[in-house]
Amino acid sequence: MNIHEYQAKQIFAKYGVPTPKGIVANTPDQAAKNAAELGGDIWVVKAQIHAGGRGLGGGVKLAKSIDEVRELASQILGMTLVTHQTGPEGKLVQKVYIEEGADIKDELYLGVVLDRAKEMPVIMASTEGGMEIEKVAEETPEKIIKVAVDPAIGFQGFHGRELVFGLGITDPNEQKKFIDFASKLYRVYMENDAELIEINPLIKTGSGDFIALDGKMGFDDSALGRHPEIEDMRDISEEDPDEREASQYGLSYVALDGEIGCMVNGAGLAMGTMDTINYMGGTPANFLDVGGKANAETVAKGFEIILKNPNVKAIFVNIFGGIVRCDRIANGILEATKMVDVHVPVIVRLDGTNALEAAEILKNANIANVIPATDLADGAAKAVAAAKGE
């Protein structure tokens, strides 16, 4: 789960990670009121969406008067912001964050993420703040310093020294401030079961203070149960409604732009099914993993979600039953045809646990549109042919 910048900064502040003062707003008037409350003579109006690259996309603007704050907020609220992380469809801006202006001397990058190979969190820092970190990694990887921290010992002094010497911070007072910043950020990461924290940029002010000018946080979904306060930060409007509906039924769904709807058990086989369809000259319309506990209701729901997509010309149900039993899927298909108007050919391949019973169920039901397949290759070939109207 991801959260907004303003929410990440609320968490940072709780741990003493320095952030500029700011207040979130839903309307231009609220934005102006927030600016007045913050005081000062310069403010930043920042679009709140779950994606990076907002500045380049026109979602971050500087205001020099309260009226300008109101004006910019009215421009940004309701706009569809397209950045390199939103995809071409962009994201609708529903909230803006009004923040006090900052005295920027240097821009750095600081992040914490799991290093899967080392099996430890790694703190990444770079002097190339304010840029796309992906580009820095590609073009000048030596400018990214990586310090892995073993949670068994926690953040130690030497971790901090590696960071500050790596970044070329030489002033002892600044070194101390940066190390304090990094150690607190490590605590934020660990204690909240974060999956990712990125601060880009982390600024150094004229007076040598370090401040999180931006903040991105993502969380380990498996750990949200023990962080109700973070679960409360969920912004449903940032999530794809079909994906969300699917997840309520234990289905994992991602829409794609092809013609063959897929319903598969297991993420690996689901991807493998898409790959096979592609290999045989067709195009997958979605990724859909029915999971290990599929029943008639969830399968019917799966059909309903797949069929919402008007591009779907055929559906390939590919189930290799281990935990999920094929007879349940067969019953699900029967239920679905009663609940939903399944107006496209459905190619069904059921193998594994109770496959024979499943074949019997489908045969006895004798539904038009349902085409049985013997294996993955056969099913994919039939689905591709059906989508082409053959």
Catalytic site residues?
Answer: 109, 198
The CB-of-221 to another protein minimum distance in angstroms stands at: 8
**Residue 362 tokens, joined:** 């489908």
**Cα 246 versus chain centre, distance:** 16
CA end-to-end distance (rounded Å), the chain? 43
Q: How many CB atoms lie within 10 A of CB 41?
A: 11
Distance, in Å, from the CA atom of 347 to the CA atom of 330, rounded to the nearest integer, reads 12
The CB-of-200 to another protein minimum distance in angstroms stands at: 9
Distance, in Å, from the CA atom of 278 to the CA atom of 362, rounded to the nearest integer, reads 27
The CB-of-51 to another protein minimum distance in angstroms stands at: 6
Which distant-in-sequence residues (6+ apart) come within 8 Å of 323 by Cβ? 292, 293, 353
